[in-house]
Amino acid sequence: MTALQVTAVFDPAAHARGVPYALYRELREHAPVCRVPEPPVGDWPAGPGYWAVFRHADVKHVLRTPELFSSHLGATQLRDPDSPEDLRFARAMMLNQDPPGHVRLRRIVAAAFTPRAVRELEDVIEARARALVGAVAPHGTCDFVPLAADLPVRTLAHLMGVPEEDRALLADWADRVIGYQDPERADADAVDPAQLSPLGRAAHALRPGPLVRPDGAPLNPRSRAALPDMFAYAHGLARRPRAGSVMARMRQAGLSGDEFETMFFLFAVAGNETLRNGIPGALHTLLDHPDQLALLRERPGLTATAVEEALRYWPPVLHFRRTATRDTELAGVRIRRGEKVVVHHGSANRDERVFPDPDRFDITRSPNDHVSFGFGPHFCLGAHLARVQTGALLRAALDLLPGLGRAGEPVRLTSNFQNGLKHLPVRWRTAP
């Protein structure tokens, strides 16, 4: 296998055509840990390359051993931060910490995501999901992506105490941070300042123009310099947090300035974009498998296992990075201290060693040991909330939209990180 072929694992443009599952399968068999180059992408410079990990067992090993594979040393995004200052800022984020620092930050916000806390939200989420779908039901057609995106934004706004009129800011920040490889998302600004709260308008006025560094190179969209509007909003909201909100917990916890800003970043972006990709991906997968769609209509009690199988089959996040803390070996490959190690969830979720007939979508599959929420110390804090929202919106769509099917071709997001759709046109029968 040539370096050019392996580069498809990294190439964002290749992912706009689809996740390279056939290549994953070949690599699992013949090169389960292999070197992947990072060629230039548009104006973005080349990177040093990384070790990619494709088998389920090896992915789990990397994720559960922070003493060998650190989230902190180089942070968890594939692309290296642009400067030591950017790296220092990124390291303050809970996602980019190793124990014990990670444990301390996780405890601060964990109470918002316990099963009991989520159960208290379930009726609200169910009602919102049915209201969103019910509002479009008379029309007979819609783009399911923005419809699905509205539910996690509303849920996040509730958890964070973000005023209703400022919800559009959450979507805007996620577009810029997660969609930076896709010009349609990176450069879009769909926020109407007139609809925002005074705090929202003041923050939006700080929204930067083109993200370019003084030397003309692209500015990392995850850096502090790229998000002055988001952090201004975060500090403004923290001055008057809603009682019981995540923001109130963060204010009371005595976080440092960097910890506070990166925690807000994590909630506002990661908690939003993952579901924005996962829920449309789940429906897209069901529409591609009409036998499974019919089975779910007939047996709504399968919703929970259908959600798990959709997460396995369409992982919202395709990879995460670690950095080797010392010279080590993985699957017979020598890895040097300081080298990037990237686990590929999409490959692990199709590993034949774990999942019988892994390319088959089966909503009755059990057990289902997918790694779409990660594994080990960084297992996704919001996993249960994500499952509840995905199930609620799928059930609402199947209950309220008879004859649901495609109205056109879906359009994928250009991203090697998020497995997303920009558009999913659907149609259904309406009452005569």
Q: What confidence tens digit (pLDDT) does each residue in 352-361 have? A: 999 999 999 9
Q: Based on C-alpha coordinates, what's the Rg of the chain? A: 21
Residue 64 counted as domain residue: yes
Question: What's the confidence (pLDDT) of residue 1?
Answer: 62
Q: Is the pLDDT of residue 4 over 70?
A: no
Instruction: Kindly state whether residue 244 falls inside one of the protein's structural domains.
Output: yes
Cα–Cα distances (Å) from 307 to 121, 217, 281, 300, 370, in that order, read 18, 41, 11, 12, 11
Categorise residue 74: left if φ over 0, alpha if ψ from -120 to 50, beta otherwise. alpha
Mean pLDDT of 75-79: 94
With a cut of 90, say whether residue 175 has pLDDT above it.
Answer: no
Q: What is the pLDDT of residue 384?
A: 93
CB 348 within 8 A of CB 32: no
Tell me what the mean pLDDT of segment 36-52 comes to.
91
CATH number at residue 12: 1.10.630.10
The amino acid at 304:
A
Position 240 in a domain = yes
Domain range enclosing 320: 3-427
Q: How many CB atoms lie within 10 A of CB 294?
A: 11
Mean pLDDT of 184-200: 87
Is residue 432 included in any domain, yes or no? no
User: For the chain, what is the domain count?
Assistant: 1
Contact assessment for residue 253 and residue 368, using Cβ atoms and an 8 Å cutoff? no
Q: How far apart are CA 251 and CA 239, in angstroms?
A: 8
Query: Please, what sign has the CA dihedral across residues 294, 298, 300, 301?
Result: negative
Task: For residue 326, give the 3-state DSSP assignment.
Answer: coil
With 90 as the cut, is the pLDDT of residue 251 above it?
no
376 within 8 A of 394, measured Cβ to Cβ:
no
Any idea what the Cα angle at residue 178 is, between residues 82 and 201, rounded to 5°? 95
The tokens for 419 are 């497995």
Q: Assess contact for 307 and 370: CB atoms under 8 A.
A: no
- What residues form DSSP beta bridges with 317? 418
Local structure of 321: helix, strand or coil = strand
Neighbours of 18 (CB within 10 A): 10
Q: Report the SS3 class of residue 38.
A: strand
pTM of the model: 0.94
Which helix or strand (DSSP H or E) is residue 312 part of? helix 303-313
SS (H, E, C) 192-248: CHHHCCHHHHHHHCCCCCCCECCCCCECCCCCHHHCHHHHHHHHHHHCCCCCCCHHH
Where does the pLDDT of residue 2 fall: very low under 50, low under 70, confident under 90, or very high at 90 and above? low
